[in-house]
Structure 1
Amino acid sequence: MLNTGLLELHSDCQNCFGLCCAALPFAASSDFAIDKNAGQPCPNLRNDFRCGIHTELRAKGFRGCTVYDCFGAGQKVSNLTYGGRDWLQAPETAGQMFEVFPVMRQLHELLWYLREALAFRGAESLHDSLKLMLEQTLMLTTLSPEELLKLEVHIHRAEVNELLLRASELARSTARGQLNPAPKRQKNYGRGADLIGAKLRQADLRCVSLRGAYLIAADLSGADLRHADLIGADLRDTNLSGADLRDSLFLTQAQLQAAKGDLAAQLPGSLQYPEHWSVKL
């Protein structure tokens, strides 16, 4: 068994070499005030790898930074893969480190989903498969930089996604049979459904699949999303005020950060209210 201490899936910027601020590109838009190329450190990144405008990111036009989550990949690359030797001390490692980081981030995102699936009621028959996949994915995160760059992550991701889909179907089917009152007959949303700007206020969306749905600027205020599968759903500017998201499947902190909402919304216990939700909409 691998050291369970490796399964740290929350961003810890205090123990990272500012990798998301240097490795990743972004373009001037409503999310970013400037253009930045991959491998180019953000001008707001200080030499101690802290953000110089961390408390003002949204006000300064860097909303995109506030919704990004590396799932703990940053500190893994910084302290395990490169043994605590940063790219300023060893500039010859910078290019490789910046390429390794997105690979590790994908693996850590999969670890987050696998760990969550293990807690689904109704998916117990998949526990052995989920645990094995979790172990395999954890093992991949301990590879050397050279091995990580050779890794065909898309193949591994496809295998994990197939397992996660089965876990979701079992969990939603189980919940559907136990909810009282039972969910009304619901529309079947296919993966990647175009729900941009959709009017779904107070909608009964219990146990539906919204996997990969485009819910940009949709109105889900007061909607019941318990046991809904939200993996990969695009919640940018989605109104979640007063929505019930308890027991929703695969919801992440980054998705909440991208959405709008208020403190009347009900969240899973593992997630926190974004700071910009403090004012009731």
Structure 2
Amino acid sequence: MALSPSGEGARPSAGEGREHLQADCADCFGLCCTALPFARSADFAADKPAGQPCSNLRQDFRCGIHARLRDKGYPGCTVFDCFGAGQKVSQVTFGGTDWRQAPETARSMFEVFPVMRQLHELLWYVSEALGLAAARPVHKELRRALARIDGLTRGSAESIAELDMNALRGEVNTLLLRAGELARAQVPGRKKNHRGADLIGAKLSGADLRGASLRGALLIAADLSGADLRDADLIGADLRDTDLSGADLTGALFLTQAQLNAARGDAATKLPSALGHPAHWQARG
């Protein structure tokens, strides 16, 4: 599932302190294309078990059909974002020795990668929370969490693989929730609460969702065209096939490039400065 830095799914600069949380496939050993499983579906044209290289992975660890992934039936690959975990595992945890050169490292490397990806995702969220001026009351705790998580990413392969990620995510989520609440409180008026809501296929075109909580909401195939999503909390929201055409997501909280890559939109969709319009949106005109 490797995405080149210049391909679909690549982000522009995410701001100070988050450059290392952007995927750099040139320094990765094709880990997303090898370590992770996928099943034949609308997202993937074939089955692949965990630990087996994708048939499209080249010897140089690049994707042989990168420019044609959607046409070839692999849109799921264009959505995936490792948040820079691939190069961390490849170049730091395993010191630049790839699993083809040292087959004995393969199993461990493939076990570490999905855990590292979760750690890097948390680093992304915590870094974003630290950029919210309104969240200043929790900045001290957030900085401690950032330092702790960063330290965990630099541990041994064994220590990373043994981490209790559910417990860690629970601890960090408490801080992220507080940061999001403080930021949304700056938006005037009553804010809608759709946390965890089932909004699959919902007709929300032009809806006023400014400052709303959409944490973990299921928005699959929902119509949010022209909706006001400024400063809305979108952490964990499922935006697969969501129509964001003409929507305003300026300042949206905890929105990721992967979520946008899974959605539909157009040139009129307004995004936070750290994120970019996916290539397939441009193709839609």
TM-score, structure 1 normalization: 0.93
Query: Is the counterpart of residue 278 in structure 1 residue 256 in structure 2?
Result: no
- Give me the whole-angstrom Cα distance separating, in 2, the residues matched to 1:257 and 1:228: 18
Match of 2:211 in 1: 207
Cα offset for 1:188? 2.5
TM-score, structure 2 normalization: 0.92
Query: Is the counterpart of residue 269 in structure 1 residue 281 in structure 2?
Result: no
Runs of 4 or more consecutive aligned structure 1 residues displaced over 4 Å after TM superposition:
4-7
| Contact 2:267/2:277 (8 A) holds in 1 | yes
Cα offset for 1:154? 1.2
Query: Is the counterpart of residue 59 in structure 1 residue 71 in structure 2?
Result: yes
Match of 2:249 in 1: 245
Letter matched to residue 118 of structure 2: Q
Percentage of matched positions with identical amino acids? 65
Query: Is the counterpart of residue 229 in structure 1 residue 230 in structure 2?
Result: no
| Contact 1:45/1:51 (8 A) holds in 2 | yes
| CA spacing shift, 1:24–1:165, aligned 2, 3 Å | same
Query: Is the counterpart of residue 90 in structure 1 residue 102 in structure 2?
Result: yes
Match of 1:34 in 2: 46
Cα offset for 1:6? 9.1
Letter matched to residue 68 of structure 2: E
- Unaligned regions of 5+ residues in structure 2, if any? 1-15
Letter matched to residue 231 of structure 2: H
Letter matched to residue 140 of structure 1: L
Cα offset for 1:66? 0.1
Pairing partner for 1:188 from 164, 189, 193: 193
Cα offset for 1:57? 0.2
SS of 1:123's partner is helix
| Contact 1:6/1:138 (8 A) holds in 2 | no
| Contact 1:202/1:220 (8 A) holds in 2 | yes
| Contact 1:7/1:138 (8 A) holds in 2 | no
Letter matched to residue 181 of structure 2: E
- Give me the whole-angstrom Cα distance separating, in 2, the residues matched to 1:188 and 1:45: 43
Cα offset for 1:125? 0.8
The aligned runs of 1:163-174 (5 Å cut-off) are: 163-174=175-186
- Give me the whole-angstrom Cα distance separating, in 1, the residues matched to 2:229 and 2:192: 14
CA RMSD of superposed structures (Å): 1.4
| Contact 2:192/2:211 (8 A) holds in 1 | no
Match of 1:8 in 2: 20
- Give me the whole-angstrom Cα distance separating, in 1, the residues matched to 2:112 and 2:49: 16
Match of 2:130 in 1: 118
| Contact 1:201/1:219 (8 A) holds in 2 | yes
Query: Is the counterpart of residue 162 in structure 1 residue 171 in structure 2?
Result: no
Aligned length: 270
- Give me the whole-angstrom Cα distance separating, in 1, the residues matched to 2:93 and 2:229: 38
Match of 1:198 in 2: 202
- Give me the whole-angstrom Cα distance separating, in 1, the residues matched to 2:73 and 2:59: 22
- Give me the whole-angstrom Cα distance separating, in 2, the residues matched to 1:21 and 1:280: 27
